[in-house]
């Protein structure tokens, strides 16, 4: 996805960024991935309800544009760290849904060989260093990866995804400070869905915008509408450019919303049905993006149907693959704890 | 007297204890992540915010280190906070305040202050929450002088020990196994305490002492019933407190049965089993032993996500049955 080809020439500057920056094929692929994330999570949710998946999971339905927009300027060798709400990041970074489902089903063919599950989903081959069960746990790790990139002159940039709740952990503050003093190629992406579990940012956070935190660490703090793909992609391009040029980190505050409960044990007592309904019907990132694509003549209804159908098939095949895959052997219980040496 | 005692679940028992403590003492209040309208990650605080208000059932930001530190500071200065960690695994983020501050403050200041803070830790595996949400870290804190560390195994003890913890002038760490929250048992109404530092014999027997903690007490009792059918008579000791440990009860039990099996969920090595074993090895009970001491603990691995692997990581009833039988039948 990294190499950009322009859909229209630069004189049409009234078009939003994405439609100046990307080809029609690239934009269609973005739409496909948005659907892939949503249907993947619906498929996972359904499998959970049927008792095929155990534990718990955190769904990012409603936040798909943010994962995709941020990953647009990244190459496969660039890296990310992700969160407990990390399925979308994983897919956006290039993972195969077959192996993600296999992980959720606890199978050896899963990305973590059945040891990690939803909360630790990763795809190291595509630069995803992993979801994380610890709020803010991935932020310093991303800074460490960026330190490697700088020391080893690999030219890589690193993105750290985290939620609004994470901005109140010490790890967030310590990590941003170090990234700034060492001018590391890292981008801090707060997927600000307004709540950390039941606690709204208004109740948990002393500043109005997470982006306001950037000032304390001398880096740009950018606010974007996290449900508008083009806005996010534009902010990500600018931050990646800055990082690659050796100018240091950026903090992006991507305002979005999660439709589902925090996890599988949420009574949704802390927000109203009207609020949820308003986001779903008026600000859905897929609906907004589809509308734009149609307005700008990138795709028609038949094209959209074809995408939905191909995603449906891919999800169905993914679940079948997971079901048919083998479970780990009990004898392997203590494997992977240490590096196996010859 | 009422023939059938009232039953509550373990989590209801804790909730009732917190409510009683707050009713009885203005200084008591609750802090934690999502303990207000959400009711706590495991619904232990439930609707307490409606009864006591958001001032006394305080939602904190996601800030374990800072939150624990605020609780320590508040406890040092006249209040009695009960601080809930959402998962015991997150004690790791707050280790500084627990280990360097709460545990040592009174000592460092020559006894001029005390730190009557209570911290609650939902612990253990069995929920499919994988490596970072399933650990049993009680022995970590048990290693620190200045802390008291308890693991109530029944609803009765959960209430009585929490009330004892609130009344205690020193920091008390409570590890609550998540799989116990729904377990029901008799719980009297009103205020009562169960002493910290006292083990409890849950089942008397002659052939073998099982010293167990938390959920393993129940698994051991189940194993004991199965073995009773084979004529093996097992004593089950519920340790209840791991610091300070009730060594006298363990020693007396082993002197009676001459055999010891330790059963606990935390990783086997360098844990509670080692401490219980050493207690016997260093005591007069050593001469009474008819067989080597055996420990059953968690495998040497983080908790895996896959449900079969997860089960295989910690002792289960058949493991306890097999180990106990081998010990008594002299196969050790
Ligand atoms: C250190 C730590 N504290 C608490 C939790 C429990 N927890 C998991 S997700 C979450 C809310 C996170 O909120 P946010 O960062 O906004 O991400 P979101 O869930 O909204 O995507 C909490 C409290 C945790 N996993 N790790
Ligand atoms: Mg959030």
ipTM: 0.94
pTM of the predicted structure, to 2 decimals: 0.95
- The ranges assigned to domains in chain B are 7-186, 200-328
A11 within domain boundaries: no
Q: Do residue A269 and residue B37 have CB atoms under 8 angstroms apart?
A: yes
B7-186 has which CATH code?
A: 3.40.50.970
Q: Do residue A55 and residue B313 have CB atoms under 8 angstroms apart?
A: no
Q: pLDDT tens, B241-284? A: 999 999 999 999 999 999 999 999 999 999 999 999 999 999 99
Distance CA A179, CA A160 (A): 12
Length of chain A: 342
Chain position carrying tokens 């500084």: B96
A133 within domain boundaries: yes
Residue A254: phi, psi to the nearest 5? -100, 105
Short-list A62, A64, A108, CA closest to A90: A64
Length of chain B: 332
- Dist. CA B62 → ligand 1 center (Å): 7
Chain position carrying tokens 């170090």: A178
Give chain A's largest Cα–Cα span: 64
Chain B CB contacts of A120 below 8 Å: 130-132, 305
Q: pLDDT tens, B161-189? A: 999 999 999 999 999 999 999 999 999 99
Q: pLDDT tens, A243-260? A: 999 999 999 999 999 999
B200-328 has the same fold as B7-186:
yes
A58 within domain boundaries: yes
A61 lines ligand 1 (CB under 6 A): no
By the 8 A CB rule, do B63 and B34 touch?
A: no
Distance CA A127, CA A79 (A): 4
Predicted confidence (pLDDT) at residue A2 exceeds the cutoff of 80:
no
Count of structural domains within chain A: 1
Predicted confidence (pLDDT) at residue A10 exceeds the cutoff of 60:
no
B200-328 has which CATH code?
A: 3.40.50.920
Positions of B annotated as catalytic residues are 64, 133
- Dist. CA B175 → ligand 2 center (Å): 28
What CATH number does residue A277 fall under?
3.40.50.970
- Give me the domain span that covers residue A104: 39-325
A162 within domain boundaries: yes
Predicted confidence (pLDDT) at residue B127 exceeds the cutoff of 50:
yes
């Amino acid at each position: 996805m990294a190499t950009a080809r322009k859909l229209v020439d630069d004189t049409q500057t009234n078009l939003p960024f994405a439609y100046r920056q990307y080809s029609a094929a690239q934009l269609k692929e973005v739409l496909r991935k948005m659907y892939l994330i949503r249907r993947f999570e619906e498929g996972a949710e359904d499998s959970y309800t049927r008792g095929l998946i155990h534990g718990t999971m955190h769904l990012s339905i409603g936040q798909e544009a943010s994962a995709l927009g941020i990953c647009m300027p990244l190459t496969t060798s660039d890296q990310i760290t992700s969160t407990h709400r990390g399925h979308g990041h994983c897919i956006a970074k290039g993972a195969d849904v077959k192996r993600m489902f296999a992980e959720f089903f606890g199978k050896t063919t899963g990305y973590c060989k059945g040891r990690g599950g939803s909360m630790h989903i990763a795809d190291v081959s595509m630069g995803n260093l992993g979801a994380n069960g610890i709020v803010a746990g991935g932020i310093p790790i991303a800074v460490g990866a960026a330190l490697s990139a700088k020391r080893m002159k690999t030219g890589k940039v690193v993105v750290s995804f985290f939620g609004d709740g994470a901005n109140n952990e010490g790890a967030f503050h310590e990590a941003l400070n170090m990234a700034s003093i060492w001018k590391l190629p890292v981008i801090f992406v707060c997927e600000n869905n307004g709540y950390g579990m039941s606690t709204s940012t208004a109740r948990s956070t002393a500043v109005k915008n997470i982006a306001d935190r950037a000032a304390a660490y001398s880096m740009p703090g950018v606010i974007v509408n996290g449900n508008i793909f083009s806005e996010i992609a534009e902010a990500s391009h600018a931050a990646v450019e800055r990082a690659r040029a050796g100018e240091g980190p950026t903090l992006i505050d991507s305002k979005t919303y999660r439709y589902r409960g925090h996890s599988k044990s949420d009574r949704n007592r802390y927000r109203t049905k009207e609020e949820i309904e308003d986001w779903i019907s008026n600000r859905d990132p897929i609906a907004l993006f589809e509308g734009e694509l149609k307005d700008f003549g990138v795709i028609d209804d038949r094209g959209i149907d074809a995408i939905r159908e191909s995603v449906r098939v891919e999800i169905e095949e993914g679940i079948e693959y997971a079901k048919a895959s083998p479970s780990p052997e009990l004898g392997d219980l203590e494997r992977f704890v240490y590096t196996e040496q010859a | 007297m009422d023939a059938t005692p009232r039953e509550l679940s373990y989590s209801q028992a804790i909730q009732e204890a917190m409510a009683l403590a707050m009713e009885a003492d203005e200084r008591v209040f609750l802090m934690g992540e999502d303990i207000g309208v959400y009711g706590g990650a495991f619904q232990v605080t439930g609707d307490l915010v409606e009864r006591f208000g958001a001032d006394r059932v305080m939602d904190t930001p996601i800030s374990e280190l800072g939150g624990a530190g605020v609780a320590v500071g508040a406890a040092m200065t006249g209040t009695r906070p009960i601080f809930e960690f959402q998962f015991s695994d997150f004690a790791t983020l707050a280790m500084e305040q627990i280990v360097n501050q709460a545990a040592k403050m009174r000592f460092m200041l020559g006894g001029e202050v005390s730190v009557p803070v209570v911290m609650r830790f939902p612990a253990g595996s069995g929920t499919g929450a994988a490596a970072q949400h399933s650990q049993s870290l009680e022995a970590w804190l048990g290693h620190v002088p200045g802390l008291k560390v308890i693991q109530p195994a029944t609803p009765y003890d959960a209430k009585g020990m929490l009330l004892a913890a609130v009344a205690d002038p020193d920091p008390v760490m409570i590890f609550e196994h998540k799989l116990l929250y729904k377990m029901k048992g008799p719980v009297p109404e009103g205020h009562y305490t169960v002493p910290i530092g006292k083990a409890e014999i849950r089942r008397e027997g002659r052939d073998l002492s099982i010293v167990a903690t938390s959920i393993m007490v129940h698994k051991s009792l189940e194993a004991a019933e199965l073995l009773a059918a084979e004529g093996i008579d097992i004593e089950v000791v519920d340790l209840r407190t791991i610091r300070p440990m009730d060594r006298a009860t363990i020693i007396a039990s082993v002197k009676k049965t001459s055999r010891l099996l330790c059963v606990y969920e935390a990783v086997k090595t360098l844990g509670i089993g080692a401490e219980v074993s050493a207690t016997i090895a260093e005591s007069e009970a050593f001469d009474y032993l008819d067989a080597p001491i055996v420990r059953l603990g968690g495998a040497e691995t983080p908790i895996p996500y896959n449900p079969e692997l997860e089960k295989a990581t910690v002792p289960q009833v058949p493991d306890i049955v097999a180990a106990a039988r081998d010990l008594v039948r002299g196969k050790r």
